[in-house]
């Protein structure tokens, strides 16, 4: 590269940062390396390759379950003066970190301004991605009507822009299918999940496809087709383990174990609950852990292992306050009520069920309300309190009817 213009020793001094080249020398170096002069004037920490590497590493850490590591990298990147498109992509990825930790307000604070920038700049794929994430934020906050609006907007943006990203298309369709599922439109959900699967390319987006399989498993379960549910849950589990998404792998074990428990297979259910709990304890994740511990306790209760059930549900109740998901407290209290009843501790059983019912009623989740009410009714009946048992059975029935969209 030195040629006739300068010596190799001089280039070595430039390379080591001991000599500053003149503008003319820099121009010659740039021409011979086929790079613009601006390439040599960038801060190496915010150069285009460095930015891409940071975004890739952030995504990789998030998939591995290291959300806080990803958050630190991205916040450091956003504190620098970087190009607007890279900033928008970093905000989108940081929002993913917050969504995974169920910090919905923080995610929305990043996504709203990012969407305005993406739409002004006509970054169509990024805009569709952001609309999809805003739908996810509202979905996690249990605002399904608002979530549906954003998912529809994401799909409209995708289709109107002529995009050809099958992974993004399938992910949006899968999220819209989730809305059908939670709205009780089971056949529509199954149809939508199957359409999403046909559009997905597993090589491009393993986590997205695994999420679709998971949703399809839940839809089949709710429709009473447990064999199909377990089949898709197994597929989803294998894909999530391929990408080392620890939390989602544990979530799938929980879903599969719950199905098996309902099928009267507590031994296999216990194994899955315990495996999922160990996975989460390995990454110090407390969000889903109480639900898995409670599930393991219930599986032991079905096998008449009262000591094991009592020990595990006590742990579930202890760690539940560390979870931001109200389902964790409800699951722990419901199983505590069942275990306390089996141990003849009537007062503790009723107190636990009363707390679980109050929390379930506040969530407006008919399925959950029905499950807690029904379990409470069974324990009251066995305790000889026929009047209270009848009231709870009625409460469970009315919750089931509400879920089906009928009038009691």
Residue 81: band (very low, low, confident or very high) from pLDDT cuts 50, 70, 90: confident
Helix axis angle, 166-182 to 124-140, nearest 10°: 20
Report which DSSP code applies to 288.
Answer: S
Report whether pLDDT(213) > 90: no
Q: What is the pLDDT of residue 41?
A: 58
Report which DSSP code applies to 143.
Answer: -
CA distance 306 to 301: 6
Report whether pLDDT(102) > 80: yes
Looking at residues 146-166, what average pLDDT do you find? 86
Contact 376, 360 (CB under 8 A): no
Cα within 13 Å of Cα(331), Cβ side: 25
Of 38 and 93, which is predicted with more confidence?
93
Residue 310: band (very low, low, confident or very high) from pLDDT cuts 50, 70, 90: very high
Residue 106: band (very low, low, confident or very high) from pLDDT cuts 50, 70, 90: very high
Residue 270: band (very low, low, confident or very high) from pLDDT cuts 50, 70, 90: very high
Q: Which residues contact 44 (CB under 8 A, 6 or more apart)?
A: 50
Share of the chain above pLDDT 70, in %: 83
Residue 147: band (very low, low, confident or very high) from pLDDT cuts 50, 70, 90: very high
- Across 164-168, 239-243, 269-273, the highest mean pLDDT is recorded for 269-273
Other beta carbons less than 10 A from residue 201's beta carbon: 14
Report whether pLDDT(244) > 60: no
Residue 316: band (very low, low, confident or very high) from pLDDT cuts 50, 70, 90: very high
Report whether pLDDT(127) > 70: yes
Of 381 and 233, which is predicted with more confidence?
381
Q: What is the pLDDT of residue 407?
A: 42
Report whether pLDDT(242) > 70: no
Report whether pLDDT(200) > 60: no
Q: What is the pLDDT of residue 408?
A: 41
Report whether pLDDT(71) > 90: yes
Contact 230, 256 (CB under 8 A): yes
Residue 49: band (very low, low, confident or very high) from pLDDT cuts 50, 70, 90: low
Looking at residues 318-346, what average pLDDT do you find? 92
Looking at residues 277-300, what average pLDDT do you find? 88
Contact 119, 157 (CB under 8 A): no
Report whether pLDDT(34) > 80: no
Given the structure tokens 């979905």, which residue do they identify? Answer: 139
**Summary mean pLDDT of the chain:** 82
Report whether pLDDT(346) > 60: yes
Closest CA to 199 of 150, 233, 164, 228: 164
CA distance 272 to 240: 15
Given the structure tokens 């209270």, which residue do they identify? Answer: 388
């Amino acid at each position: 590269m030195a040629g006739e213009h300068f010596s190799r020793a001089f280039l070595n001094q430039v390379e080591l940062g001991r000599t500053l080249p003149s503008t003319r020398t820099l121009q010659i170096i740039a021409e011979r390396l086929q790079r613009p002069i601006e390439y040599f004037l960038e801060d190496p920490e915010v150069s285009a390759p460095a930015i891409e590497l940071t975004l890739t590493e952030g995504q990789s850490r998030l998939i591995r379950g290291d959300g806080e590591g990803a958050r630190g990298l991205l916040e450091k990147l956003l504190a620098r003066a970087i190009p607007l498109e890279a900033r928008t992509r970093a905000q989108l990825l940081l929002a993913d970190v917050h969504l995974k930790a169920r910090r919905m307000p923080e995610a929305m604070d990043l996504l709203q301004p990012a969407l305005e920038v993406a739409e002004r700049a006509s970054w169509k794929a990024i805009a569709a991605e952001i609309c999809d994430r805003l739908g996810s934020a509202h979905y996690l906050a249990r605002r399904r009507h608002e979530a549906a609006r954003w998912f529809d907007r994401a799909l409209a943006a995708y289709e109107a822009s002529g995009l050809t990203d099958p992974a993004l298309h399938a992910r949006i369709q899968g999220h819209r299918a989730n809305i059908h599922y939670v709205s009780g439109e089971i056949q529509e959900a199954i149809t939508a999940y199957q359409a999403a699967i046909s559009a997905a390319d597993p090589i491009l987006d393993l986590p997205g496809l695994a999420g679709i399989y998971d949703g399809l498993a839940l839809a089949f379960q709710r429709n009473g087709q447990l064999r199909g549910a377990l089949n898709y849950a197994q597929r989803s589990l294998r894909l999530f383990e391929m990408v080392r998404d620890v939390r989602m792998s544990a979530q799938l074990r929980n879903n599969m174990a719950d199905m098996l428990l309902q099928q009267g297979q507590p031994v296999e259910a216990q194994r899955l609950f315990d495996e999922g709990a160990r996975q989460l304890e390995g990454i110090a994740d407390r969000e889903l852990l109480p639900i898995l511990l409670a599930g393991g306790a219930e599986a032991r209760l079905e096998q008449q292992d009262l000591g094991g059930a009592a020990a595990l549900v006590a742990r579930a109740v202890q760690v539940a306050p560390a979870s931001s998901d109200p389902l964790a407290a409800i699951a722990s209290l419901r199983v505590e009520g069942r275990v306390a009843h089996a141990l003849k501790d009537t007062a503790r059983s009723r107190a636990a069920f009363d707390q679980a019912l109050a929390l379930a009623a506040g969530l407006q989740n008919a399925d959950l309300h029905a499950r807690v009410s029904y379990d409470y009714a069974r324990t009251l009946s066995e305790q000889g309190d026929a009047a209270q048992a009848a009231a709870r059975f009625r409460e469970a029935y009315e919750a089931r009817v509400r879920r089906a969209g009928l009038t009691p």
